[in-house]
A and B are shown apart, each in its own frame.
Chain A
Amino acid sequence: MESMDEIRLVSSAKKGNIAAFEQLIKAHETKIYNIAYRMFHNEEDAKDISQEIFIKVFENIEKFKGNSSFSTWLYRIATNTCIDELRRRKGKETYSIDEEIETNEGSMKREYSDIKPGPEEVAINKEVRHQIQNAMNHLSEEHKTALILRDLQGFEYGEISKILDCSLGTVKSRISRARRQLIELLIKQEPFEYKHRLKDRKEGSK
């Protein structure tokens, strides 16, 4: 929305008007929160980091010159903040109590025992989602970011190249690599179970 409205709101927010800033970010709150959630796979972190992103944007809004649309600039700060934080955490990883443990079969089963009462399909779906999320956590920061923007947030390639400030070719190759890597990881992670389930589901749907 590169409208006059946006320009007016931005200039008002630059003067410290929080109400104007609120208007600017309102439409993006859920998206930014979701990006952070997919990046960190943890609701607590998602909240903290997404709010940190908005505060950062508010603090630096004077630096926004209007060369791109406000939302592009917002998502650029968001992805950069997430990537920086992910890199910072590497090596000193922390686990919160309710965080899913990667490829640890025992603990995964314990978690899913809670869901068993529900329909079988839902349980399988949930498990598949967890596996996807776990596999995503193994991707490099750049690949993860590209994948989240494209396949989870549905951004166009052109928009992604603006947000990540790189060429369209780079975006294409990053997305392509990220997807292939993800699939490889998924198959490697749970070779039999996953394939079986896929086959079962395929047969079921046919």
Chain B
Amino acid sequence: MSCEQFREAMSPYIDGLLEDNEKLLFEEHLKSCPNCNEEFEQFKEIMKEIHSLPEIELPDHYHEELLLKLYQKKEERKHQRKVFYQNWKVLSTLAAGLILLIFVIENLGNMGMDAKQELATEQAAPGAGTAGVYDMAVEEESASNPMIFSTERATANEVTRDGVESLAQENTQTFMKVEKSSITERKIIYESFMSIEVDVFDDTISKIKAITDQSGGYVENSSSYIYYSEPERDIYLKQGSIKIRIPVEQYGAIQEQISKLGHLIHQQETSTNVTEQYIETESRIRMLEVEQERLLEIMKKAEKVEDLIKLEQRLNEIRTDIEIYKSKIKNWDQLVSFSTFTIEIKEVKEVEYIKSTDPNFKTKIQSSFIKSLNDVREGFERIVVVLAYGVIPCTLFIIALGIGFLIGKPVLKKILIKIRNWREK
């Protein structure tokens, strides 16, 4: 064995990896070569040093910190999954909308035509057009342009919504179901503002209160004041507003009921999606709770007063934060599960009546003039219509008369001649 081979074999030798014959050769060389012997001694010495390098202990709270990081990661991933899930949901809603659109168009063809349906057709027709475009786009580009793809789908879906709402009852229900399911999963705050004019203010208020009670909601606040008064005739007109909170499932029904209570002047709806903030806050709470737990564990082991004070401080911070976040969540839960209706109510009918007892002369003339004009126009129209209606029977009558006259003429002549002859006689 050469010195170089010996050097190569040192490492496997000390690990006991050499074959028996190699081992023998190695040991022979070791005895015969002093240089290599010294080198091997040095090698062993250094290996001993390396093997005696101490194991470093984990730093304080290493494990706790790691766990905290792991929980954070888990939350992040959950969040990412949820976002994906939501996207999937939106897509599936769009797909459902598309199917409904096709269904509606088919149904429309089978239905009779009154004014309402005509309107619906108008609305649905552009939808059909878009769908056609979308089909073509798919054929030609095979979905190479996802942006156009999705916007067209969205338009189609919107149109469907209009169409569905205005007629096909069953479709509306299906659509409502789709929407409802997303209400429960997502955190959306619904608010509605309505302004109505009514005959009797107090009646309306009590009706609204009854509706609210029935639905399981509650009145948040209400206020009213007299905005017009005529004491000598005992007329006092009230105006005011009432704010009610209704369970979100009954949002649509309640809105309809209220709008029927009087003359709807103004209506505004807003919906705020707080899903993202909600999930974020929830995970923050969980994070803080984990940290709190860990700190409490550490606290049990802590001995120094200094450490205890520091831990206590941090714990207090965490507790306050948790409280803040929890109240946020609670508030959102409230807002999401109960939609808010703000209704402004104005008593009006009496006012109109009073004003009409004291009308403006000019307006009166104007309106009566317009009325007479309209009457005249209507009269003419009626005549024209009647004439138009009479055109065919009249013509037929005249034709019949003509034929009768032509046929009857010779007979008549004979009769006349006969009569004349008889008289002459």
Q: Is the CB of A179 within 8 A of B11?
A: yes
For residue A179, give the distance in angstroms from its CB to the closest CB of chain B: 5
Render A165-179 as a binary contact track against B, CB cut-off 8 A, 1 for contact: 000000010011001
For residue B153, give the distance in angstroms from its CB to the closest CB of chain A: 32
Q: In the assembled complex, which residues on chain A have CB atoms less than 8 Å from the CB atom of B69? A: 51, 55
Q: In the assembled complex, which residues on chain B have CB atoms less than 8 Å from the CB atom of A180? A: 7, 10-11
How distant is the Cα of A188 from the Cα of B8 in the complex, in angstroms? 19
Q: In the assembled complex, which residues on chain A have CB atoms less than 8 Å from the CB atom of B71? A: 18
Q: In the assembled complex, which residues on chain B have CB atoms less than 8 Å from the CB atom of A133? A: 53
How distant is the Cα of A193 from the Cα of B51 in the complex, in angstroms? 21
Answer yes or no: A157 CB below 8 A from chain B CBs.
yes
How distant is the Cα of A133 from the Cα of B47 in the complex, in angstroms? 13
* Interface SS of A by simple majority: helix
Q: Is the CB of B17 within 8 A of A157?
A: yes
Q: Is the CB of B49 within 8 A of A132?
A: yes
Q: In the assembled complex, which residues on chain B have CB atoms less than 8 Å from the CB atom of A186? A: 46
Answer yes or no: A85 CB below 8 A from chain B CBs.
no
Q: Is the CB of B15 within 8 A of A33?
A: no
Q: Is the CB of B12 within 8 A of A172?
A: yes
How distant is the Cα of A128 from the Cα of B41 in the complex, in angstroms? 17
Q: In the assembled complex, which residues on chain A have CB atoms less than 8 Å from the CB atom of B10? A: 176, 179-180
- Most chain B beta carbons < 10 A, residue from A133, A147, A151: A151
How many residue-residue contacts, CB under 8 A, span A and B? 90
Answer yes or no: B389 CB below 8 A from chain A CBs.
no
How distant is the Cα of A151 from the Cα of B77 in the complex, in angstroms? 38
Chain B, Cβ-Cβ closest to A43: B59
Interface residues of A in 26-64 (CB under 8 A from B): 26, 29-30, 33-34, 37-38, 43, 46-47, 51, 54-55, 58-59
Answer yes or no: B388 CB below 8 A from chain A CBs.
no
How distant is the Cα of A33 from the Cα of B58 in the complex, in angstroms? 7
How distant is the Cα of A51 from the Cα of B78 in the complex, in angstroms? 20
Q: Which of A21, A22, A34 is within 8 Å of B56, CB to CB? A: A34
Answer yes or no: B234 CB below 8 A from chain A CBs.
no
Q: Is the CB of A152 within 8 A of B53?
A: yes
Answer yes or no: B372 CB below 8 A from chain A CBs.
no
Q: Is the CB of B17 within 8 A of A198?
A: no
Answer yes or no: A87 CB below 8 A from chain B CBs.
no
A198 touching B42 in the complex, CB below 8 Å, given contacts A29-B63, A47-B59, A152-B50: yes
Chain A, Cβ-Cβ closest to B76: A59
Answer yes or no: A16 CB below 8 A from chain B CBs.
yes
For residue A22, give the distance in angstroms from its CB to the closest CB of chain B: 7
Q: Which of A34, A55, A59, A183 is within 8 Å of B42, CB to CB? A: A183
Answer yes or no: B55 CB below 8 A from chain A CBs.
yes
A29 touching B58 in the complex, CB below 8 Å, given contacts A176-B11, A179-B43, A202-B45: yes
Interface residues of B in 18-60 (CB under 8 A from A): 41-43, 45-47, 49-51, 53-59
For residue B70, give the distance in angstroms from its CB to the closest CB of chain A: 5
Render A98-141 as a binary contact track against B, CB cut-off 8 A, 1 for contact: 00000000000000000000000000000011001100000000
Q: In the assembled complex, which residues on chain A have CB atoms less than 8 Å from the CB atom of B49? A: 128-129, 132
Q: Is the CB of B53 within 8 A of A30?
A: no
How distant is the Cα of A47 from the Cα of B58 in the complex, in angstroms? 8
Q: Is the CB of B70 within 8 A of A55?
A: yes
For residue A135, give the distance in angstroms from its CB to the closest CB of chain B: 9
Q: Is the CB of A179 within 8 A of B47?
A: yes
Answer yes or no: B65 CB below 8 A from chain A CBs.
yes
How distant is the Cα of A29 from the Cα of B58 in the complex, in angstroms? 8
Chain A, Cβ-Cβ closest to B73: A55
For residue A62, give the distance in angstroms from its CB to the closest CB of chain B: 11
Q: Is the CB of A58 within 8 A of B53?
A: no
Answer yes or no: A78 CB below 8 A from chain B CBs.
no
Q: In the assembled complex, which residues on chain B have CB atoms less than 8 Å from the CB atom of A179? A: 10-11, 43, 47
Answer yes or no: A82 CB below 8 A from chain B CBs.
no
Answer yes or no: A74 CB below 8 A from chain B CBs.
no
Q: In the assembled complex, which residues on chain A have CB atoms less than 8 Å from the CB atom of B56? A: 33-34, 37, 43, 46
Q: Is the CB of B17 within 8 A of A132?
A: no
For residue A153, give the distance in angstroms from its CB to the closest CB of chain B: 9
Answer yes or no: B62 CB below 8 A from chain A CBs.
yes
Q: Which of B17, B54, B73 is within 8 Å of A172, CB to CB? A: B17
Write the residues of chain A forming the contact surface with B, with a CB cutoff of 8 angstroms.
16, 18, 21-22, 26, 29-30, 33-34, 37-38, 43, 46-47, 51, 54-55, 58-59, 128-129, 132-133, 147, 150-152, 157, 172, 175-176, 179-180, 182-183, 186, 198, 201-202
Q: Which 7 A-B pairs have the closest CB atoms?
A: A176-B11, A151-B50, A37-B56, A179-B11, A51-B66, A18-B70, A183-B46
- Chain A to chain B contacts (Cβ below 8 Å), 8 pairs: A16-B74, A22-B67, A46-B56, A51-B62, A132-B46, A157-B15, A180-B10, A198-B45
